[in-house]
Structure 1
Amino acid sequence: MDSRVIVGWIPDFPVIASGAEGGEAVAVVHRDEVVACSAAARAAGVRRRMRVRVAQARCAQLRVVERDLAAEIRVFEPAVRHLEGTVMPRLEVIRPGLIAAPARGPSRYWGGEPQLAERLVAALAELRLPARAGIADSVFTAALAARSGHLVPLGGDAAWLAPYPVGVLGAPRLAELLERLGIRTVGAFAALPENKVLARFGAEGIAAHRTARGRHERPLAVRENTGEHTVAYAFEPVADLLEPVVFAAKASAEQLHERLAAAGVVCARLEAAVELADGRTLSRVFRHEGRLSAPAVAERVRGVLQAWTDAGLLDTGGEHGIVRLVLRPEQLTAATGRQSALFGERHTPEEIERAAARVQAMLGHQAVVRVELGGGRGPADQVRLVPFGDVDTGPRPPDGPWPGRLPSPHPATVFPHWLPARLTDASGRQVAVSGRLALSAPPAHLAVEGHGEAAVDGWAGPWPVLEWWWDRDRSRRIARMQVAAADGRAWLLVIEHGRWWAEAHYG
C-alpha cells in the first residue's frame, strides 16, 4: 500500500464533553440507548447500547445526559487545533473524539510510526485528554487498533483483523447471517471468493469483504475533488452573526448534494471553510462514509464555528465578519445507492424536503424523523426513528419469526421511558407473576405514575419474554399484560424484577 493512516481515539469523549467530574457515574444517551458511559458507570455494570432503564437499574446513582453533537464538536475543536499545531498539519474529524490523518509524512518528521503515535497521545495528554493511537493501512483497521494502542505492520491489516468476530465489520445483519453459516471470524469471511460474496451478499457484503481483506473502505480508484462540485456562498453584507452562516451551510449542503447526485458520486470527506474579512481562512475537514445530510453538515458547521468563536479565532463583530462560506467535497467515488425517503421508499417531494429541513434548522437535527420498521417482540422494538436525511446505520433486528411477539392491536402511544406502575389485588397487595406465569391474585386496581388510579375491568396475559439470555449485559426476562381500566383506558404493562411498569397506552 502507498499510504498509512494514524487514528487518535479519546475513550468516552461524549462523557468528557458533558462536563462529568472524575469518579461520577454518567451515561450519555441517545434515543433511550447508552452511547457512552464513565468508568464509574461501567464498574457498576452499565454498558454501551444498553437501554436507559436497565442502566439505571444497574447503577442507582447514574446521571443520564442526552447527547449533544454540536456541543461535542465545540469541545473537541481545541484538541484538533492543538494536534494540527504540534503534531501534524492536517487531519480529518471522523467524529468528536476520533480523528484520522495520513501517517507517512508525520512519521518521517517524528522519527518513525511509534514516535508519531507517542507524540499524538502526549499532545492530547497536555490537554488532559486520555488518548490512544493506532496505525494501519486503512482507517477502519487503524480505528480498531487505536482501542488497544496497536501499530499494525505495513500490509498486515488482513492478518491482524483475522481473529476478530465478524461483528466488528459494522454490518449487524450480515454478521448474524455469517454466524448462522458458521463463518464467525473476519479471517474466515475474508477467505471467501469475492465473486461468491458479491453474488450472495450484494453491495453491503462486498464492502465488508473488502474491509476484512485489509483493503481501503473506498475503492482504490479514488479521485480528488477537481473543484467542479465545490459550493460557495458569499455574504453581502459581511455576516456578523453565526445563525445566518449555519443556515447558509445547510442550503449550500443541499446544493452540493444535488451536484454530487447529478454526477452519480458521493464524497468521503467534506471540507468546510470560512473566509474572513481580514483575509484569513479557517477550515475543518470532516470524514463520512456515505452521504452526509444537509442538516448534519449544518450541525457540524455550527459546532466548529462556535468553537472558533470561543477560542477567539473568529470575531464576527465590526470588520472581522465572514465574507464567504465554502463546502468542498473530497475523495469522490461512484454512488452505490440512496437512503430511503421520509415517507417510504419513493422519492420525497421537494416541498416536503424543504419543510423538513426548515424544521430541523429551527429545532435541531433530531426534530424530524422517519419510521423504519423491523423485527422485535415489544412495540418499541419494532419501530426505529431515524433523523431525516440520515442513513439508518444502527443495529436492526431481523424480520422474524419472533416467538412471543405482542399481538395486535398495537398501542397508540409507546412511552420513551417506562412509567412506574402498581397493579394490586382486592386487598391492596401487589399482584405477582410466578415462573409458570400464574398471577398471585386477580388484578383489582391499577395506578400509573402521572395518570391516576382506576379499577381493573379486564386483562389479557401474561406473556413471557426471555431475550439475549446468552449475553449478561443485554439479557432480559419480563412478562407483559394488557389491562383495561374502568375509566376507559387500556394499558400495556410489564413486570421486571418484581416491579410493574407501563410500557404503552392504547388510545
Structure 2
Amino acid sequence: MDWPAVAAAAATGLPATDPVVVTLANRVVACSASARAAGVRRGLRRREAQARCPSVHVVTADPGRDARHFEGVTAAVDEVVPRAEVLRPGLLVVSVRGAARYFGSEQSASEKLVDAVAAAGAECQVGIADQLATAVFAARAGCIVEPHGDAAFLAALSIRQLATEPSLSAPGRDDLADLLWRMGIRSMGQFAALSRTDVASRFGADAVSAHRFARGESMRGPSGRDTPPELDAVMDCDPPVDRVDAAAFAGRSLAGELHRRLEAAGVGCTRLGIHAVTANGEEMHRVWRCAEPLTEDATADRVRWQLDGWLNRRRDGGQTGLGGPITMLRLHPVEVVSASALQLPLWGSSGDDDRLRARRALVRVQGLLGPDSVQVPVLSGGRGPAERITFTPLGDEPVPRADPGQPWPGQLPEPSPAVLLDDPVELLDAEGNPVRVTGRGLFSADPARLTGDGREPGRLRWWAGPWAVDERWWDPQESGRAGRTARVQVLVEEPRGRGDVVDRAMLLCYRQRQWFLEGVYE
C-alpha cells in the first residue's frame, strides 16, 4: 500500500528514509514508513498530516507515475519467476509451484524474489498461500501460510480488512465492511461462520464473494481455455510510436475496439494481456489482473500506464526496456467472464449507448487534434465559480486542483452561473461615473448601469453585494488574481430590438481596479 509514496520519492529524488505522503482531493491515500511512524495515517486531511509531521513531503497522487516506476520492479521479478501478473502498481502475483521446484523450496523462492526487487531499488514482502487473495494478505504480514490453512490464517483478521485492498474487492466493499462491523461481526472468522444462504439473501452478490474469501475458498481460477483470437485488438502503428502521449492515444483507441468485440461476444475481460513489438523486433508482454471486469476506461488506463513504463524504461540508462519505437500493439483478453457476470441490460449493451457513442466521437476528436482538445470538468475547491472547476483531458485521472469538501470562507453561494466568462466591463453610477469598491468593501456610489466592449448600456434593476475577499496574496504564481477581489450579482435590462428588453442575471468580479463579467445565470 506504500508504493505510491515510494514512487513519488523516487520521482522527486528524495531519500527512502524521508517522510512522504501522497494526497488525492486533500486526503492522504498513501504514506511512507517514516511518515507513519510520526503518526500519519491514510484518510487524514493534508493539513492534519502536516501538523503531525511538519517535515513531511506532500505529493499529489499520480497513477501513471506509480505504474511507470513499478515497471522496473516487474521486470526484475520476471527475471526470477516469469509470467508475473500486475494487480495494481505495487502488487504482483506469480505462480509459486514451478519456482519452488526450481529453487528447492517456497522459502528459497521468496528470498530470491526479495533479492531481485532489492536490486531494482525497492523493498518488498512476499506472501504465499493456496488462494490469491489470501496470499496478498499474507504478503502484508510477510509470511507463508501452510497448505490448506487459508481459513485459519484469515480468521483472526479484522472484518474491516475486507476492503483494504481495492484490487481484490468490488466497489461498495467499504459499505459492506462497515455494516458488518456495526452488526457486531468483528473478525473474518465470525463472518465465515455465517451461513452462505443467509449472506446471499441479506447482503447480495459481492458479500457472497467476500464470504468465500473469508472461508479461504477458491475465488477465481484460470479459465482453462484460450480465448478466441478474434477477440484480440491489434493496431499497426504507422508511423512507429516513440512518445508516451502518442502511445496513450493509440492504446485508448485500441481499448475501444477491444470492448466493442467483447460486447459483441457477450463477455467481459478480467485479465488483460498487453503486447508490444518494436521496430527492432523486440517483444514485450505484460498481464494485468482485476477483481471486476474491466471497463473501457480502465482498460485504456492500464494500457497507458504500461506503455508509459516501457517507453520511460527505454530512456533510463542501464535498464533493459523497449529497443525502439513501437510498431505493433495488441490487447489480448487472457481471461473472460460470461455475460451473466456482467448483468447486461435488456438490449445487450453494457452501458448507455448514447454515452458510449459520444465518448467514441470525442476520442476521435482527440486523435485528430491532440489529447488536450477535449477537456472534462471536475468539481474542485475555490471561492469563485471558475476556481471551482478543474479541467482534465478526456481519459486522464480526474484529479481536482483543490478539495471541494473543505470550508472556503468567502465562497460564492449557490447557485453558480451557468455560463462562465471573463470579459472586461464598466459599472457606472447614475451620472455616468465609474463605480469602484473601496478599501472598506463598499461601493463608491450606487451602481446604475453596466456597459462594456460592444455591449449596449443596460440599466440595473437590482444588485446584491459587494462581497470582498482578500485571497492568494501569498502566491507569486497567481499575481494576476492575487489580492483583494469583490463580487456582486446584478440584474440588468438588455435591449432586444423593437423596444423589447430582457432581464439577465450576471455575476461581476472587481479585481485590480477593473470590473469583469465573470458569469451569466440562466
1:120 and 1:286 mapped to 2: Cα distance? Answer: 19
- Counterpart code for 2:287: V
Deviations 1:95-114 (A, max 9, x none): 22211100100111111111
Amino acid at match of 1:246: A
> Would the alpha carbon gap of residues 414 and 98 (structure 1) be closer, same or farther in structure 2, given more than 3 Å must change?
closer
Q: Which amino acid aligns with 2:176?
A: L
1:182 counterpart residue number: 184
Deviation, structure 1 residue 15? 4.0
Aligned to 1:479: none
| Matched AA of 2:471 | E
Choose from 37, 40, 48 the match for 1:54. Answer: 48
Please, what TM-score do these two structures have when normalized by structure 2? 0.65
CA–CA distance in structure 2, aligned partners of residues 357 and 24 of structure 1: 41
**Equivalent position SS for 2:321:** coil
- CA contact under 8 A between 2:371 and 2:394: conserved in structure 1? no
Correspondence 1:129 to 2:137: no
Instruction: Report the secondary structure of 2:333's partner residue.
Output: strand
Correspondence 1:254 to 2:256: yes
Within 5 A, what are the aligned runs for 1:14-53? 14-19=7-12, 20-53=14-47
Bigger Cα displacement from structure 2, 233-242 vs 103-112: 233-242
Matches within 5 A, 1:331-370: 331-335=335-339, 336-337=341-342, 348-354=354-360, 357=363, 368=376
Q: Report the alpha carbon displacement of residue 297 of structure 1 after superposing the two structures with TM.
A: 2.9
Deviations 1:382-431 (A, max 9, x none): xxx99988999xxxxxxxxxxxxxxxxxxxx974655589xxxxxxxxxx
Q: Counterpart of 1:314 in structure 2: which amino acid?
A: L
Alignment partner of 1:160 is 2:168: no
Q: Deviations over 1:255-305 (max 9, x none)?
A: 112222233322222111112233321111112222152431342233223
Q: 1:387 to 1:202 in 2, by over 3 A?
A: farther
Contact 1:222 1:332 in 2 (8 A): no
* 1:305 match: 310
Cα 1:216–1:34 change in 2 (3 A) is farther
Q: Residues 2-58 of structure 1: CA distance to partner in whole angstroms, max 9, x if unpaired?
A: xxxxxx996953444443324322211122221221233223221112222221232
Deviations 1:135-176 (A, max 9, x none): 012221111111111101112111111111222112111112
Instruction: Point out the structure with max Rg over C-alpha.
Output: 2
Alignment check: 8 A CA contact 1:46 1:59 kept: yes
Offset of 1:180 from its aligned partner?
A: 2.5
- Could you tell me how far apart the structure 2 residues matched to 1:248 and 1:139 are? 32
- Normalized against structure 1, the TM-score is what? 0.67
RMSD across aligned positions (CA): 3.9
CA–CA distance in structure 2, aligned partners of residues 159 and 57 of structure 1: 40
CA 1:274–1:219 in 2, change beyond 3 Å: closer, same or farther? closer
| Letter of the 1:202 counterpart | G
Structure 1 residue 295 corresponds to structure 2 residue 300? yes
Instruction: Indicate the structure with greater helix content.
Output: 2
Q: Deviations over 1:59-115 (max 9, x none)?
A: 222221112222222222122212212x21220122222111001001111111111
Question: Partners in 2 of 1:223 and 1:175 — Cα distance?
Answer: 35
**Residue aligning to 1:322:** 326
**Counterparts in 2 of 1:27 and 1:239: CA distance versus 1, 3 Å:** closer
Q: Tell me, yes or no, if structure 1 residue 140 matches structure 2 residue 99.
A: no
Partner of 1:67: 61
Structure-2 separation of matches of 1:185 and 1:55: 29
1:449 alignment partner in structure 2 = 471
1:146-225 correspondence runs (5 A): 146-170=139-163, 171-218=173-220, 223-225=225-227
Contact persistence 2:311–2:321 (CA under 8 A): no
For 1:289 and 1:43, the matched residues in 2 are separated by 31
Q: Which amino acid aligns with 2:34?
A: A
- Look up the equivalent residue of 2:232 and give its one-letter code: T
What's the counterpart of residue 492 of structure 2?
Answer: none
Q: Which runs of 5+ in 2 are unaligned?
A: 164-172, 346-350, 380-390, 411-466, 473-482, 487-506, 510-520
Q: Distance in 2 between matches of 1:386 and 1:277?
A: 32
The change in CA–CA distance for 1:145 and 1:224 in structure 2 (over 3 A counts) is farther
Identity of aligned residues (%): 35
Aligned CA distance change for structure 1 residues 220 and 105 (closer, same or farther; 3 Å): closer
Retained in 2: the 8 A contact 1:70–1:303?
yes
Q: Structure 2 matches for 1:480-495, cutoff 5 A?
A: none
Q: Determine if contact 1:79/1:124 at 8 Å carries over to the other structure.
A: yes
CA separation of 1:222 and 1:257: change in aligned 2, threshold 3 A: farther
Structure 1 residues 89 and 147, CA gap change in structure 2 (3 angstroms): same
**180-189 vs 143-152, greater mean Cα deviation:** 180-189
Contact 2:256 2:360 in 1 (8 A): no
For 1:439, the equivalent position in structure 2 comes to none
CA contact 1:15–1:38 (8 Å) conserved in 2: no
Give the distance between the partners of 1:115 and 1:295, measured in 2 at CA: 37
Tell whether the 8 Å contact from 1:9 to 1:131 is kept in structure 2 after alignment: no
Describe the SS at the equivalent of 1:78: helix
CA contact (8 A) 1:11 1:130 kept: no
Q: CA deviation at 1:133?
A: 0.4
Cα deviation per residue 1:417-449 (whole Å; 9 max; x = unaligned)?
55589xxxxxxxxxxxxxxxxxxxxxxx99653
Residue 219 of structure 1 deviates from its aligned partner by 6.0
* Distance across 1 between alignment mates of 2:128 and 2:220: 18
Shift in Å, 1:359? 8.5
Q: Which amino acid aligns with 2:58?
A: V
**Partner AA of 1:302 in structure 2:** L
- The change in CA–CA distance for 1:239 and 1:446 in structure 2 (over 3 A counts) is closer
Aligned length: 388
Distance 1:369 1:334 in 2: 35
Query: What one-letter code is carried by the residue in structure 1 that aligns with 2:359?
Result: E
Counterpart CA distance in 2 for 1:128 and 1:289 is 28
